[in-house]
Amino acid sequence: MRAMVLQAPAPIEEAPLRLEEVEKPAPRAGEVLVRVLACGVCRTDLHTVEGDLSLPKLPLVPGHQVVGIVEQLGEGVSGLSLGQRVGIPWLHWACGQCSFCRRRQENLCPEAQFTGLHVDGGYAECVLGCEDFVYPISATLSPVEATPLLCGGVIGYRAFRLSGVAPEERLGIWGFGSSAHIVLQVARFLDCEVYVFTRGEQHRALAEQLGAAWVGRPDDEPPGPVDGGIIFAPAGELVPLALKALRKGGTLALAGIYMTPIPQMCYDLLYQERALKSVANSTRQDVRDFLQIAAAAGIRTTTQVYRLEEANQALLDLKQGRLSASAVLDLSSP
């Protein structure tokens, strides 16, 4: 089968992913083999390819927003069926035995494995998934449209929950990429007002189209304080700016797996019981709950399609800020 393989991390400008013919994997007990129809391109993939994250295995096939069709069942699999449309997100497996797993916080499991990091991911024609971490995907969205839900959507939803923003309250969003434009739709569905802070003119225009009550640049002063906030951009310098806009007792969630250093700042920005909370991965329940909300809310995604062999270009466009939509590798046609 064809796959985009990383042999060694390097700047994406050097096109480190190579199209290779690799052996199709066979599912073991509890696993399914999924024929990939589409795979989203995520900033975490960029951090993986460029070596910002420690890589537990090489060579590696990135990609963790996978929509496909179950092609083969491993021994003991009963909850999924051949031909079923499914999604595979970032969390590939957790031990089920540690204190975090017992508290249903498997996203914090010290033995957790992640798709496109510990195991080969969806920049390939087929991928393996563990039955308990593979999710039915509705046919109401095309495979390309559904892929952003599995990372940007799910992580954004968890960040939204951790921000503590309730219906009729105000959410602040810093950075407006794939995850943020989905969260804005969720927040509007739940009757929240949304302020969006982003540098890109196209991103500000999209935020307005999706129902943001106010849009501005990261250093602009909003009309009023936000009740909770989410930083999606991997830029530590945004933290003081976001805290400045946060009301007393509000929570600022940091949604990225990677962030540049947070600058030294005055304690007054954090005082009055403001809280900073990082977002680490997602639980299975997050995925289930979000997919239900996404269906009820009629969440729509905006995508820019690339062929499998164009994965380097998709990541480069992401890095250089040329995307106004979620990049997706489309493998649905030869």
User: What are 66-75's pLDDT values in tens digits?
Assistant: 999 999 999 9
pLDDT band per the 50, 70, 90 thresholds, residue 164: very high
pLDDT at position 203: 84
- Collapse the DSSP code of 205 into the 3-class scheme (helix H, G, I; strand E, B; otherwise coil) and give the result: helix
pLDDT band per the 50, 70, 90 thresholds, residue 57: very high
pLDDT at position 20: 98
Mean pLDDT of 288-300: 91
User: What are 102-127's pLDDT values in tens digits?
Assistant: 999 999 999 999 999 999 999 999 99
8 Å CB contact between 306 and 16:
no
pLDDT band per the 50, 70, 90 thresholds, residue 257: confident
pLDDT at 177 over 90: no
pLDDT exceeding 70 applies to what percent of the chain? 100
pLDDT at position 300: 86
DSSP 34-47: EEEEEEE--HHHHH
Beta-carbon-side half-sphere exposure of residue 273 (alpha carbons within 13 Å): 4
8 Å CB contact between 36 and 122:
yes
Could you give the C-alpha distances from 273 to 243, 246, 269, in angstroms and in order? 11, 11, 10
What angle (nearest 5°) sits at the alpha carbon of residue 327, between those of residues 323 and 333?
Answer: 140
CA 295 to CA 140: how far, in whole Å? Answer: 8
**Of 136 and 258, which is predicted with more confidence?**
136
Mean pLDDT of 196-222: 92
Helix ranges, 53-200 (H): 99-102, 143-146, 152-163, 178-189
pLDDT at 95 over 90: yes
pLDDT at 132 over 90: yes
Mean pLDDT of 150-166: 95
E-assigned strands of 200-239? Answer: 214-216, 226-231
What domains, with CATH codes, occur in the chain?
A: 2-141+301-330 (3.90.180.10), 153-278 (3.40.50.720)
pLDDT at 171 over 70: yes
pLDDT at position 187: 97
45 dihedral zone (left: phi>0; alpha: psi -120 to 50; beta): alpha
Could you give the C-alpha distances from 299 to 42, 94, 120, 224, in angstroms and in order? 19, 29, 29, 27
Mean pLDDT of 177-200: 93
pLDDT at position 334: 66
Q: What length is written for the chain?
A: 334
Q: Which of 3-7, 30-34, 137-141, 191-195 has the lowest mean pLDDT?
A: 137-141
Q: 């199709």: which residue's tokens?
A: 24
